[in-house]
Structure 1
Amino acid sequence: MGALDGRVAVITGAGRGIGREHALLFAQEGARVVVNDLGGAPDGTGADAGPAQQVVEEIRAAGGEAVANGDDVTDADGAERLVRTALDTFGDLHVLVNNAGILRDRQLVNMSDEEWDAVIRVHLRGHFMPLRAAARYWRDAAKAGRELRPAVINTSSTSGLFGNFGQTNYGAAKSGIASLTHIAQLELDRFGVRLNAIAPAARTRLTESLSGEAKPDEFGFDPDDPANIAPFVAYLATADCPLRGRSFFVHGGSVQLFQPWALIDGIETDHRWTVAELQERAGRLADVPFELNLPW
């Protein structure tokens, strides 16, 4: 018996890297998988149906069930077709893993309009569109009395939650995805939908310039292997997982819970502030410790 037996999952950006590992493990755990991928370059240009189909063939060769889908997740009609692929092929939908992404790194002052728009579109809109399509199906199912126990796993990043030089577009989108997860949980909880976000750290074609080649430890464990991310995502996708509305850093064998934005200090008065008063009292806030608890 697999942990995901009977579950139908849509995984975006599943042709390569982290998404591919999600798809393979989900199928191994018994899920029927829609492998979505446009097959574009790391910057989002181009298209190739090959990577998604190859993952499907790997799953089928291992005895699993999967189907490829090449729809654009940033397009409303494409997102609807993506959900419809799961329904028409496997009869239902229980899990959505939003993973598709691209990079167009550039310092803010040199970033073009298109570099900003492309990254925001693929990451943030590319999460919203499939989520909305799936949520509408789950809302109707809940109203019809069907208990599907749906799960959504969104993909944020430490570049958004901690910040990273040269990635204002990517970081803004990834931070937005964490907020999208939290607010969507508030809205969709009544329909029984659970949403969580992960900020994964792994070696992929988007990060290979940073992580370099595989460096297994003395026991042969490679903490940067993208396959390390999949087990926690599969756990979040299980029908009885209790976690909801949370964001997690996942790397190697480590899973850490993020603390959302929190009020940690302040100043108060019983009247409207004057600038002179703020000049006298607000400056001390610059000296309040602001600890990000970086995991590296």
Structure 2
Amino acid sequence: MGRVDGKVVVITGAGRGQGRSHAVRLAEEGADIIALDVCRDNEIAEYPMASAEDLRETARLVEKTGRRVVAVQADVRDPAALESAIAEGVGQLGRLDAVVANAGISPVGGERPLRAFADTVDVNLTGVLNTVHAALPHLGDGSSVVVIGSAAGLLFGHGQPGPMGPGGTGYAFSKQTLVQYVNWFAPFLAPSGRRINAVHPANVDTDMIRNEAMYKIFRPDLEHPTFEDAVPGFTQVQAMPIPFVDPVDVSHAVVYLVSDESRYVTGLHLKVDGGALVNAGK
């Protein structure tokens, strides 16, 4: 018997990376999945987004566990598209028990245009709110909302010009604001038996960090730094001797927060950061 047997969970950004990991891990524990992804590149990001083929692969991996999946292309910036996609999934799977608001971008770099700030906020903050509120009409007593935040939401202070650029600052702003969203919204959901929590990872080994723009943050002295060049910089972030956490490490936390094991847990900020936050306070 799985830890989330019979539950139906909607996940955004499910085409690859953390989203795919959450979908597969939840399916392994007995959940059926509504997998959403935009499957289209974001022009402000310098790395490719998941493709339609990536989303189909996520669906294949979920089905391999023996669970059902509904995969739909939808943009978290479009509330109507989200409402339609979630309704389609609920129509096919019969219910909705949890939502994992995971989709995000990270267009870092000091050379980015100022609009990178707003474009990042549109996906990472507004997109999360759109996702949660599109799902809420389908979520009843005992349901769970999981927001994928970031250690950046608990770590960074005021924005300032620097190597992260306006997109990186928009990322931190979005994640900081999501912390407050969880804190402020949890009391509104609690009387109906619904709960909302956040998981805050440090750097996760996905395409979001495996790109040259991110490598340059750690090796500005090199014109074209490689992943290997940046690994020592990544490793300095955490207290533990690791360059990043694996997607499945975040997924384990997601499974807990979706499951009834956390039925009385709400307003929690669960760090999966290899000690990045305690390291920052040294």
Structure 2 residue corresponding to 1:225, chosen from 246, 259, 262 = 246
User: Contact 1:8–1:86 at 8 Å: present in 2 too?
Assistant: no
Q: Quote the offset at 1:239 in angstroms.
A: 2.5
What is residue 205 of structure 1 aligned with on the other side? 207
Q: Quote the offset at 1:188 in angstroms.
A: 1.2
Q: Tell me: CA distance 1:204–1:45, structure 2 relative to 1, closer, same or farther (3 Å).
A: closer
Q: TM-score if structure 2 supplies the norm length?
A: 0.78
Q: Quote the offset at 1:45 in angstroms.
A: 7.1
Distance 1:117 1:247 in 2: 25
User: Contact 1:34–1:66 at 8 Å: present in 2 too?
Assistant: yes
What is residue 248 of structure 1 aligned with on the other side? 270
- Where in structure 2 are the equivalents of 1:247-286 lying within 5 Å? 247-251=269-273
What is residue 114 of structure 1 aligned with on the other side? 115
The secondary structure found in structure 1 opposite 2:280 is: coil
Distance 1:17 1:48 in 2: 12
Structure 1 window deviating more from structure 2 (206-215 vs 23-32): it is: 206-215
Q: Quote the offset at 1:88 in angstroms.
A: 0.7
**Residue identity opposite 1:72 in structure 2:** D
User: Contact 1:40–1:47 at 8 Å: present in 2 too?
Assistant: yes
Matched, 1:132 2:138: no
Distance 1:136 1:62 in 2: 28
What is residue 68 of structure 2 aligned with on the other side? 65
User: Contact 2:98–2:258 at 8 Å: present in 1 too?
Assistant: yes
Q: Matched residue pairs, number?
A: 245
Q: TM-score if structure 1 supplies the norm length?
A: 0.74
Of the two structures, which has the highest relative contact order with CA contacts closer than 8 Å and spacing of 6 or more? 2
Distance 1:82 1:128 in 2: 16
- Show structure 2 runs of 5+ residues with no match: 219-226, 233-241
User: Contact 1:83–1:130 at 8 Å: present in 2 too?
Assistant: no
Distance 1:204 1:66 in 2: 23
**Residue identity opposite 1:206 in structure 2:** M
Matched, 1:179 2:180: yes
Q: Tell me: CA distance 1:116–1:45, structure 2 relative to 1, closer, same or farther (3 Å).
A: farther
Distance 1:59 1:222 in 2: 28
Moved over 6 A (4+): 44-47
Distance 1:19 1:68 in 2: 12
Q: Quote the offset at 1:37 in angstroms.
A: 1.1
Q: Tell me: CA distance 1:105–1:86, structure 2 relative to 1, closer, same or farther (3 Å).
A: same
What is residue 190 of structure 2 aligned with on the other side? 189
What is residue 92 of structure 1 aligned with on the other side? 95
Structure 1 residue corresponding to 2:150, chosen from 157, 170, 181 = 157
Q: Quote the offset at 1:295 in angstroms.
A: 7.7
What is residue 27 of structure 1 aligned with on the other side? 27
Overall identity of the aligned pairs, in %: 28
What is residue 2 of structure 1 aligned with on the other side? 2
Matched, 1:168 2:177: no
Q: Quote the offset at 1:136 in angstroms.
A: 2.8
What is residue 258 of structure 2 aligned with on the other side? 237
